Amino acid sequence: MTEASPIAASSPAAFDVQRVREDFPALHQDVHGKPLVYLDSAATSLKPQSVIDAVAEVYARDCANIHRAVHLLSQRATVRFEEAREKVRAFVNAAKKTEVVFTRGTTEAINLVAHSWGRAYLREGDEVLVTELEHHSNIVPWQILCQQAGATLVVVPMTDRGEILREAFEEQLTERTRLVAMAHVSNALGSVLPVAELIALAHERGAVVLLDGAQAMSHVDVDVQALDCDFYAFSGHKLYGPNGIGALYGKERLLEGMPPYQGGGDMIRSVTFEETIYNELPYKFEAGTPNIAGAIGLGAAIDYFSSFDAHVVHAHENAVLRYATDALESVPGVRLIGTAPGKVAALSFLMDAAHPHDIGTIVDSEGVAIRTGHHCAQPVMEHFGIAATARASLGMYNTTDDIDALVTALRKVQELFG
């Protein structure tokens, strides 16, 4: 398992970004009369044509419910849905397909664990450990759970560069820590956490570990067996897949011992008014008709991403990130927020001249799409004593030209506000 891909190992020249750009139709449009420069992939990545086609084909051809009817359409949809599960399994290197539960996304996957595992196993006096750089989705479910269980939410502080250090983590880990929930990659800052090391420490104390992989999947290697994490939550739409689909990986032993998250169809084997016998894994956790087209679209996204050497993609993104870091630092009055040495795909920054919201509007008028605000990570903003940042984030289709366009747009901000 590598935390971040080796930068020097593969040549970025081997990656033809212009050809990649051809695969993403949304890139080829003008906004406000300017060619779109999309620098908001941490919010959602654009979708390649093959994903759009796969989703359309489900509705155009294999439009049926799964795991039910005997007719051919249902059979085709079921096969493709389960093929998508196998693709997810292979992509994160889970041992078994039954360890992959489809969810609406990362948030639902985390909530599933909080409700099901949490209510069954968390006791009064226990502690749940999170880090200071978490997204709200990896804070609030645990806060709610701790309130209900009489447990305590404990926070590992981050450094001023936006890192979570082993020492700080160890300091907060106690014999009362029952669960550790942390990001693999920070959404607001791009920091990559040393998760393999932290998981090993948590396991020594007997704690269960959930990783929030929303920002990680397309930017670093994810191998759940090598990491030895107990749960891994992620979303399809940040991996070039559709919205409304994601997955929870869970170790079989843990999933077996957990009660259902929701009651409904597909999660039961038999129902009488006296008793319900639950279905086997993973269906026990998939109540109701799932997002069939979304899952198949996610499978297509994994196919698309896997048609490249992931390390070459990571090296390309890292090269653009380094270029962007240098370029932004050369703009007078720009301050980077989050300068961890291990960092991928995102650059949060402030400008002396203007508030992030004004920056966002002005660069948008130049065709450049960035995110502004607190990025659903208010504790991170609090740490730096700020209300918001502007954030440029990268996907595999971004180039140094995109960064040049951003810098030109930032000079517009200075002209107007300077």
Partner 1 sequence: MDLRDLYQEVILDHGKNPRNHRFPEPHNREGRGYNPLCGDKITLRLQLDGDTITDVGFIGQGCAISQASCSTMTEAIKGKKLPEVEELFSKFHTMLTSDDGSDDPDALGKLAVFAGVREFPMRVKCATLGWHTLNQALRSEGGEATTE
- Cα–Cα distance for residue pair 237/375, rounded to 1 Å: 16
> Of the candidates 12, 194, 373, 407, which one interacts with partner 1 according to CB under 8 A?
373
Verify binding: residue 365, partner 1, rule CB under 8 A.
Answer: yes
Q: Quick one: 187 or 279, whose CB is closer to partner 1?
A: 187
Helix (H), strand (E) at residue 271: strand 268-271
Verify binding: residue 338, partner 1, rule CB under 8 A.
Answer: no
Verify binding: residue 414, partner 1, rule CB under 8 A.
Answer: no
Tell me which residue of 132, 129, 90, 377 sits closest to 247, measured CA to CA.
90
CB of 12 to partner 1, least distance (A): 35
Between the alpha carbon of residue 318 and those of residues 22, 82, 321, 401, the distances in Å are 21, 34, 5, 15
CB of 389 to partner 1, least distance (A): 10
- Cα–Cα distance for residue pair 63/55, rounded to 1 Å: 10
At a CB cut-off of 8 Å and minimum separation 6, what does 47 contact?
24, 26, 240, 241, 242, 301
Verify binding: residue 362, partner 1, rule CB under 8 A.
Answer: yes
- Cα–Cα distance for residue pair 391/172, rounded to 1 Å: 30
Q: Quick one: 276 or 365, whose CB is closer to partner 1?
A: 365
Q: Quick one: 43 or 319, whose CB is closer to partner 1?
A: 43
Q: Quick one: 203 or 355, whose CB is closer to partner 1?
A: 355
Verify binding: residue 374, partner 1, rule CB under 8 A.
Answer: yes
Verify binding: residue 246, partner 1, rule CB under 8 A.
Answer: no
Verify binding: residue 361, partner 1, rule CB under 8 A.
Answer: yes
Output phi, psi for 347, to 5 deg. -130, 110
Q: Quick one: 32 or 269, whose CB is closer to partner 1?
A: 32
Q: Cβ of 60: how many Cβ atoms within 10 Å?
A: 9
Active site residue 376: yes
CB of 349 to partner 1, least distance (A): 15
Say if CB 134 and CB 155 are below 8 A apart: no
User: Tokens in use for 133?
Assistant: 């750089």
Verify binding: residue 76, partner 1, rule CB under 8 A.
Answer: no
Verify binding: residue 354, partner 1, rule CB under 8 A.
Answer: yes
**DSSP class of 158:** P
- Cα–Cα distance for residue pair 58/211, rounded to 1 Å: 31
**Percentages of the chain per state (helix, strand, coil), in multiples of 5:** 40, 20, 40
Q: Quick one: 21 or 412, whose CB is closer to partner 1?
A: 412
Count residues contacting partner 1 (CB under 8 A)?
19
Between the alpha carbon of residue 252 and those of residues 104, 231, 255, the distances in Å are 20, 10, 5
Verify binding: residue 335, partner 1, rule CB under 8 A.
Answer: no
> Of the candidates 158, 381, 394, 406, which one interacts with partner 1 according to CB under 8 A?
381
Site for partner 1 in 5-34 (CB under 8 A): 32
Verify binding: residue 278, partner 1, rule CB under 8 A.
Answer: no
Catalytic positions are 376
For binding to partner 1 (CB under 8 A), which residues are involved?
32, 354-358, 361-362, 365, 372-374, 378, 381, 387-388, 412, 416-417
